[in-house]
Amino acid sequence: MKFAVIGRNINLTEPLLAHVERRLRSALRRFGKKIRHAAVQLTGISGPRRGFHPQCKVTAFLSPRGKVIVKEIASDFHTAINRALDRLESSVGLKLERASRNKAKKPLN
Q: What pLDDT score does 108 carry?
A: 56
Under 8 Å CB-to-CB from 10, ≥6 apart: which residues? Answer: 42, 43, 44, 54, 77
| Cα gap 51→75, rounded to integer Å | 10
Q: C-alpha distances in angstroms, 14 versus 17, 60, 63?
A: 5, 22, 30
Q: What pLDDT score does 99 carry?
A: 83
- pLDDT tens track for 34-87: 999 999 999 998 877 777 889 999 999 998 889 999 999 999 999 999 999 999
- Which CATH architecture group holds 2-103? 2-Layer Sandwich (3.30)
Q: What pLDDT score does 21 carry?
A: 95
Q: What pLDDT score does 54 carry?
A: 93
Q: What pLDDT score does 107 carry?
A: 63
| Beta bridge mates, 60 | 38, 68
Task: Please report, for the chain, the start and end positions of each structural domain, with discontinuous segments joined by +.
Answer: 2-103
Phi, psi of 19 (to 5 degrees): -65, -45
Q: What pLDDT score does 59 carry?
A: 97
Q: What is the pTM of this model?
A: 0.86
